[in-house]
Structure 1
């Protein structure tokens, strides 16, 4: 007898549950008027404006639609795109009128949803005027080369600058952007490292076009070569000639092996200025390199002075 009663109870519960679901679905299929919240997604900002942190992130709307749709909105908040390019500047604020908001929202709602009203007459958007400029990026590299290797050219950064947008009083204070520090030791080959950029503090209303950069450089093996370069004397008194001892000096040049093959004595000019004596009695003239080849690591005179004699012609 008890087993029969339990079976009847189960059947009754099943019918009761089915009835409830039928009633629930029937009610959800009916049309209602109620309110729902939408998350705002601002887009199409003009180049001269940036979005501040105090903009409203949601709006409440009165809708007419099915219970199914309202149930969906209760579970999942719907995102609505707000086209900021339609803002108007009124009494010191950037605003979107109620009419514009309804038009934009209507275009994104499905056809079975009627937008009846909003919780406000206008939407204030936290926008501010911005300037923009390019800021050079400076690489911070601690480079230690292996013996007999040189940095062939300069250390480069790509991109070499970053565009910043923000209030004029903020971005005018920025002169350069530095990379995070790189330490490279015992280097004997070309290098390339991706690094983060270090932005100054206190730039809450500024945005930067990139946050990372590539730092790279070319490394070559170098050698030395000695050149015997003749000495030229300048500002010799009229009617005289100057003979130097020696009449040529040794120049030590350090460069890549390939570059040294291209260099000749004619690429150098070593001068001694007789006018430097300014009437003083001396038999020594100081030497100066006034012309030298480009793309070399180091140039050094083996002698800084020469002796001379002044002879009348």
Structure 2
């Protein structure tokens, strides 16, 4: 019984001692953190106020090292949470092909962002080089890479719509000068019988590490309509006939097969077409055949095809 009581008292003493030891350590630690020290700290760099004529290079520094005079608490904070320093790029100077901030300019910017009880002693460099370069810009057309397979008797009604139809690229002149177009990622559409609209990514050429584009995606859309066929009988016009002669063709009219949407076919008549036979193409030969050509046809039709490409003729003196 006595042993148990003594054992309990010993355990209690150990706990009390440990508590006092912990409190003493914390008091010592806090006391030391309250003191002022000189040491180095790292800051994450954030560039701002970038002029339109300049772009930030891929090798731009994203951190800066500086020697500070501050309390232990503040250095502990910097160890755990790296602070951010904003760099005003509009104040850069250009010399010997490089952009840089002078030590005075950089210190002034940094001092304005540090707490009042923190002193900036020195930077890791007398000048701060910023990876900047002059930029050029141009608009590049977007071209769709589309494999479109329509159902039978369906057509693409009008042109393919790409939005945006161009992108603006900014970058070094030697990088963007050779760009002529930007292609979309391949898009395959099969068995299509209705309007479509698909968003696709843009595929940028390699080697444009310092260039930026205004868009990275585009929408490819098209109107799909059902088409039909209609036959028109159109008279033949002969041109370049020798003076004093008349040409009679056999037959004097030919048929044209026209493919268009059903609504469009209702609006078309034979007078919307013109078929010409050029007598001058014979150039004095004894041929009795003239080739036919469709010289006029209505807009918004899918296909116009002559049933016959040649016609026989007789040259008659008037």
TM-score when normalising by structure 1: 0.93
3-state SS of paired residue (2:241):
coil
Q: What does residue 141 of structure 1 align with?
A: 146
Name 2:130's counterpart in structure 1. 125
Which 4+ runs in 1 deviate beyond 3 A?
A: 29-33
1:183 alignment partner, SS class? strand
* 2:191 counterpart of 1:214: no
Query: Does the 8 A contact of 2:58 with 2:209 survive in 1?
Result: no
Match of 1:94 in 2: 99
Distance across 2 between alignment mates of 1:110 and 1:280: 100
Q: Which residue pairs with 1:200 in the alignment?
A: 205
After alignment, is 228-237 or 291-300 more displaced? Answer: 228-237
In the superposition, the TM-score normalised over structure 2's length comes to 0.92
2:3 match: none
Provide structure 2 residue ranges, at least 5 long, that are not aligned to the other structure: 1-5
* Structure 1: segments with no counterpart, 5+ residues: none
**CA-atom RMSD in angstroms:** 1.8
1:161 is aligned to 166
SS of residue in 1 equivalent to 2:47: strand
Among residues 52, 65, 72, which one is paired with 2:77 in the alignment?
72
The Cα of 1:95 is off from its aligned counterpart by 0.8
Q: Deviations over 1:260-299 (max 9, x none)?
A: 1221222111111122222222332211111111111100
Q: Which of 84, 108, 115 is the matching residue for 2:113?
A: 108
* Cα displacement (A) at 1:308: 2.3
Of 259, 262, 271 in structure 2, the residue corresponding to residue 266 of structure 1 is 271
Cα distance, 1:245 vs. partner? Answer: 2.0
Please say if 1:173 is aligned against 2:159.
Answer: no
Deviation of residue 248 (structure 1)?
Answer: 1.5
Higher mean Cα deviation, 61-70 or 72-81? Answer: 61-70
Q: Does structure 1 conserve the Cα–Cα contact (< 8 Å) formed by 2:237 and 2:275?
A: yes
Cα deviation digits, residues 187-207 of structure 1 (max 9, x gap): 111112221222222222322
For each residue in 1:71-93, what CA deviation from the matched residue of structure 2 results, as whole angstroms up to 9, or x when unmatched?
Answer: 11011111212121211012222
Q: 1:123-147: CA deviations, max 9, x gaps?
A: 0112222222122111111111100
SS at match of 1:262: coil
SS at 1:28's partner residue? Answer: helix
Distance in 1 between the 2:21 and 2:136 partners? Answer: 67
User: For the residues of structure 2 that align with 1:18 and 1:174, how far apart are their CA atoms?
Assistant: 69
